[in-house]
Amino acid sequence: MPIVLTVDPRSGVPIYQQIVEQVKRSAALGVLQAGEQLPTVKQLALDLTVNPNTVARAYRDLERDGVIETSPGRGSFVRDDGAGASTEVAARDVTRRAMEASVREARSMGLSRADVRGVIDALLDRWFPEEQ
Amino acid sequence: MSIKISHLSKTYGPLIAVDDISVEIPSGTIFGLLGPNGAGKTTTFKCMLGLARASHGSVAFDGKPLTPPLFESIVYVPERDVLYDWMRVGELVEMNRRGFKRFKAQRALELLQTFGIDTHKRVRSLSKGMKTAVAVAIAFAREADVLVLDEPTSGLDPVNQRHVLNLMVNEAARGATVLFSSHQIGQVERAAERIAILDRGKIVLEGSVDDLKANRKIVEAIFPNEGYSLNGLAGDPRIGRIDRSGRIVRVTTFDGADEIARRLEAAGGTGVRVIDLNLEDIFLYAVAPASATADVVEGS
CB spacing of B169 vs A11 below 8 angstroms: no
| B278 in reach of chain A (CB within 8 A) | yes
State yes or no: pLDDT of B291 exceeds 70: no
Considering the segment(s) A1-132 as one domain, its CATH architecture is: Orthogonal Bundle (1.10)
State the complex-level ipTM: 0.81
Say how far apart CA B48 and CA B60 lie, in whole Å: 9
**Minimum distance, in Å, between the CA of residue A63 and any CA atom of chain B:** 19
Answer yes or no: is pLDDT of B298 > 80.
no
Rg of chain B over CA atoms, in angstroms? 23
Residue B296 has a pLDDT of: 40
Do the Cβ atoms of A51 and B277 come within 8 Å? no
Q: Which of residues 210-249 of B touch A (CB under 8 A)?
A: 210-211, 213-214, 217, 221
**A53 inside 8 A of chain B by CB:** yes
Domain boundaries, chain B: 3-208, 216-293
Give mean pLDDT, residues B251-259: 90
CA–CA distance, B250 with B145 (Å, rounded to integer):
44
- What's the CA gap between B238 and B200, in Å, rounded? 25
CB contact under 8 A, B189 and A12: no
**What's the CATH fold of domain B216-293?**
Alpha-Beta Plaits (3.30.70)
- DSSP readout, B51-118? SS--SEEEEEETTEE--GGGGGGEEEE-SS--S-TTSBHHHHHHHHHHH-TT--HHHHHHHHHHTT--
What pLDDT is stored for residue B85 in this prediction? 87
* Euclidean distance between CA atoms B168 and A12, whole angstroms: 23
Average model confidence (pLDDT) for chain B? 89
Task: Using a cut of 0.90, tell me whether the model's pTM lies above it.
Answer: no
Distances (CA, A) of A63 to A54, A58, A67, A69, A76: 14, 9, 6, 5, 9
Is B172:A48 a contact under the CB 8 Å cutoff? no
Q: How far apart are CA A78 and CA B177, in angstroms?
A: 31
Domain B3-208 part of CATH 3.40.50.300 = yes
Nearest CB among A9, A17, A108 relative to B189 is that of: A9
* CB < 8 Å from B in window 14-43 of A: 14-17, 41-42
Range from A67-71, A128-132, B10-14 carrying the lowest mean pLDDT: A128-132
Contact residues on chain B for A8, CB-CB shorter than 8 A:
none
The per-residue DSSP string of A65-124 comes to: TTSEEEETTTEEEE---SS-HHHHHHHHHHHHHHHHHHHHHHHHTT--HHHHHHHHHHHH
Helix %, strand %, coil % for chain B, to 5? 35, 30, 35
Cβ separation of A50 and B169 shorter than 8 Å?
yes
Mind listing the pLDDT tens digit for each residue in B130-152?
999 999 999 999 999 999 999 99
Measured between beta carbons, which residues in chain A are less than 8 angstroms from residue B273?
105, 108
Name the band, by pLDDT with cuts 50, 70 and 90, for residue A86.
low
The closest of B26, B59, B55 to B45, measured between CA atoms, is B59
What residue segments make up the domains of chain A, in order of their start? 1-132
The answer to whether B153 and B184 are in contact (CB under 8 A) is yes
Which among A16, A41, A109 has CB closest to B270? A109
Report the pLDDT value the prediction gives residue A35, as an integer from 0 to 100.
86
Please state, in angstroms and rounded to a whole number, the distance separating the CA atoms of residues B197 and B185.
11
pLDDT surpassing 90 at residue B79 = no
Supply the pLDDT for residue A84: 59
Q: Report residue A115 CA to chain centroid gap.
A: 28
